[in-house]
A and B are shown apart, each in its own frame.
Chain A
Amino acid sequence: MMWTIVPPELVWEGVEREPKKLQQIQWHNAQVLIEPIDFGRGRVVQVLSTEPNDFLRPDLAPGAIINLGS
């Protein structure tokens, strides 16, 4: 049940479309949400951390590429 100022038709717009596949990973002591690009690589979408210093890390900058093998 929602309580929001956004009209319902906007909130539910595109509800039948397949959502973007995102993956949550642990990357050097931080939880990160990545968008897989190809095998073993992903683009940082969101940093799921409460540590403010994690947001200053260049390897976790929005759009940074994470190479899971490294």
Chain B
Amino acid sequence: MPFEEPNHDPQEQDPAAQQAALENIKELGQTEVPGPMVSRIHCINIVGQVEGHVLLPPRNKTTKYEHIIPQLVAVEQNPRIQGVLVILNTVGGDIEAGLAIAEMIKGLSKPSVSLVLGGGHSIGAPIAVAARHSFIADSATVTVHPIRLTGLVVGVPQTYEYLDKMQDRVIRFITENSRITPERLRELMFRTGDLMRDIGTVLIGKEAVAAGLIDELGGLHKAVTKLEKLIEEQKSQSNEPLDGPLWQAENAEILPVKDIPLGSPGGVDH
């Protein structure tokens, strides 16, 4: 879409266009912008703090779940979007907002690939593993550490049992969606000596892969190539078009409707 400065008369079109081009060079380092095209891969960025129930002070750069969740719904619903690339560079944040985003990514019927750049710390880890395939850049890190009460507690004071339960939720999500075992993850979370004033582990690039947390080491090209491959695989596997109305669980056994015994697990029970 061309940039148009309003209220200038037609003779000034050219200088205005030149100005716009100059500004493009200054702002974006480029002079031409592709026309309206629709990418079949859409991209979701999780940056800064994952912001949940509480609005964080303005000094924090945040990703708000009320922005991300409708975007994921749109990705699922829009037939032109065939896959989603989740790019993470986050320091963590609200647990429930993070888990909500992670569950949304996991629940997509369309292929998803995540790429950790810079950092995917704390609650970033479940979001990274929620995608069907996860990548981490060589220089990127994932920090895992225990959940604890932080300065400001909202609502009722939490007990240690509650903290433990929250931790279990996160550990369960991560281990169900990656190759790491709960024992190993707990060990990494409570390890001493890695962080100066704290317990926990910083996993750099291939260490995160070796631990089984992240699937593969790679950058943007690898992530996009993998996503394209997953899209093609999904297309060839199902007779339904990718944008079809039916969502089908992976490896689900397909029975004709009349063969589904009533009241059996998986049957709809109202």
A interface residue numbers (CB < 8 A to B): 1-6, 8-15, 17, 19-20, 28, 48-53, 56-59, 61-64, 67, 69-70
Interface residues of B in 1-48 (CB under 8 A from A): 1-4, 6, 20, 23-24, 27-28, 33-34, 36-39, 41-44
Q: How far is the CA of A9 from the CA of B6 in the complex (A)?
A: 45
Best-surrounded residue of B24, B56, B94, B123 (most CB of chain A within 10 A): B56
Number of interface residues of B (CB under 8 A): 54
Is A50 a contact of B147 with CB atoms below 8 Å? no
B246 within 8 A of A: no
Q: Is the CB of B42 within 8 A of A5?
A: no
- Contact with A11, one of B3, B34, B150 (Cβ below 8 angstroms): B150
B121 touches A5 (CB 8 A): yes
Q: Are A4 and B34 in contact (CB under 8 A)?
A: no
B residues in contact with A17, CB < 8 Å: 57-58
Given contacts A5-B145, A6-B91, A51-B42, contact A58 B33 (CB under 8 A): yes
Given A51-B42, A58-B20, A67-B6, A4:B58 Cβ within 8 A: no
| A2 CB contact (under 8 Å) in B4, B42, B92 | B92
Chain A residue contacts of B81, Cβ below 8 A: 50
State whether A50 touches B33 (Cβ < 8 A): no
A1 touches B158 (CB 8 A): yes
**Nearest CB in chain A to that of B4: its residue:** A70
Instruction: Let me know if A53 and B37 touch, CB within 8 A.
Output: yes
B113 interface residue (CB < 8 Å to A): no
B58 touches A20 (CB 8 A): yes
- The answer on a CB contact under 8 Å between B92 and A9 is no
Which candidate, B67-75, B129-137, B231-239, B252-260, is the interface stretch facing chain A?
A: B67-75
B23: which A residues are within 8 A, CB to CB? 58, 61
* Distance in angstroms between the alpha carbons of A28 and B182 in the assembled complex: 47
Given A52-B41, A53-B34, are A1 and B166 neighbors across the interface (CB < 8 Å)?
A: yes
Please name all residues of chain B whose beta carbon is closer than 8 Å to the beta carbon of A61 when the two chains form the complex. Answer: 23-24, 27-28
- List 24 interface pairs A-B (beta carbons < 8 Å), by A numbering: A1-B147, A1-B154, A3-B92, A3-B95, A4-B121, A5-B92, A6-B91, A11-B49, A11-B150, A15-B57, A15-B152, A19-B58, A20-B58, A50-B44, A50-B74, A52-B39, A53-B36, A53-B39, A58-B27, A61-B23, A61-B24, A61-B28, A62-B27, A64-B27
State whether A11 touches B60 (Cβ < 8 A): yes
